[in-house]
Amino acid sequence: MSEDTSILKIENIKINYGDFPAVDDVSMDIPEGGFVSVIGTNGSGKTTLMNAVAGLVIPSSGRIVFRGEDITKKAPELRVSSGLSLVPQGGRCFARMSVEDNLLTGSHANRSESRQMLSKVYELFPALFDKRKQTAGTLSGGERQMTAIGRAMMSKPSLMLFDELSMGLAPVVVKDIYARLKRLNSEDKMTIVLIEQDTRRAMRQTEYTYIMLRGRTVLEGRSSDLSDEEVRKAYFGI
């Protein structure tokens, strides 16, 4: 893939926890407007890698390039202002704040622009508009996840990373949220990277898949081209 089609390039990243290599020489190329999944079992290194992209972990070596800029050591908040946003596991919200106030914590724009983004979030997730004055601690798991996604949208990102989006949610809720992300990708050209354990669900939604095992990328390709047997062997290291 050529440089000018990439929004994110991960180049030979290594991340060590003491003597343990959590991520070992991983490279990925995320195209602008792409819908990509990074899948693997617990401990495969996928979450650690995305935390490095978000600036929460500094790699031991390698580079992370976002829109042509080396952001390997850039502060997390500066990455957000540059257009990169991470939605962490578990739909984390401020439980005692209202849904709308939770959303507004994600915005660094003026009042007018913030209201425009709120409208966009409510258009994508109408249920949040209905509960905008309700405290986030009273929401269902799916509604909390929607709130976390909406808060990330408020910073007007061009790339969104989702860590274990489906964790702890009912299949019908996950299906609904995935459909809305598909819409965000197709209509708004949002670049989306899903970090998941659920291989089938993730690969049905995305265009391209990376499979990680023990800190390395062991298989990659167009999601529709990867056979069940290839995926099974890569996922479990058979």
Distance CA 79, CA 89 (A): 19
Instruction: Tell me, yes or no, whether 161 and 232 share the same domain.
Output: yes
Same domain, 199 and 128: no
- Give the domain extent around 125: 92-156
Banded pLDDT at 1 (limits 50, 70, 90): very low
pTM equals: 0.92
Give yes or no: residues 123 and 165 share one domain: no
Q: Of the candidates 138, 156, 174, which is a domain's last residue?
A: 156
Q: What region, left, alpha or beta, does residue 223 occupy, with left being phi > 0 and alpha being psi -120 to 50 degrees?
A: alpha
Residue with tokens 């070596």: 61
Based on the fold, state whether residues 73 and 113 are members of the same structural domain. no
**Segment 110-125, tens digit of pLDDT:** 788 889 999 999 999 9
- Each residue of 117-158: pLDDT tens digit? 999 999 999 999 999 999 999 999 999 999 999 999 999 999
CATH number, domain of 231, equals: 3.40.50.300
pLDDT at 2 over 80: no
CA distances, 112 to each of 106, 126, 130, 131, 133 (Å): 15, 20, 21, 21, 19
